[in-house]
Amino acid sequence: MLNIKEASQLFGIGEHRLRSIVSEDYGCKYHLTLGRTIKIKRQQFENYLNQVEQI
């Protein structure tokens, strides 16, 4: 699991854009919210990135 800053650096996506992607993930497929902290599930998020055409 990665926090927003780590995921931003790893995937080359801005933190603001990552937060908006996570806010659209209603089924919590690739993120977990622990209080105010957002954790991104690395494997599931990589699968999501491979499926989308445009970020």
Residue 17 C-alpha from the chain's centroid: 9
The pTM of this model reads: 0.87
How far apart CA 44 and CA 30 sit, in angstroms, is: 5
Token pair recorded at residue 16 = 């603001």
How many degrees, rounded to 5, is the angle at CA 51 between CA 47 and CA 11? 55
pLDDT of residue 54: 86
> Which helix H or strand E contains 38, and what residues bound it?
strand 37-40
What tens digit of pLDDT does each residue of 1-50 get?
999 999 999 999 999 999 999 999 999 999 999 999 999 999 999 999 99
- Answer yes or no: CATH 3.90.105 is held by domain 4-51: yes
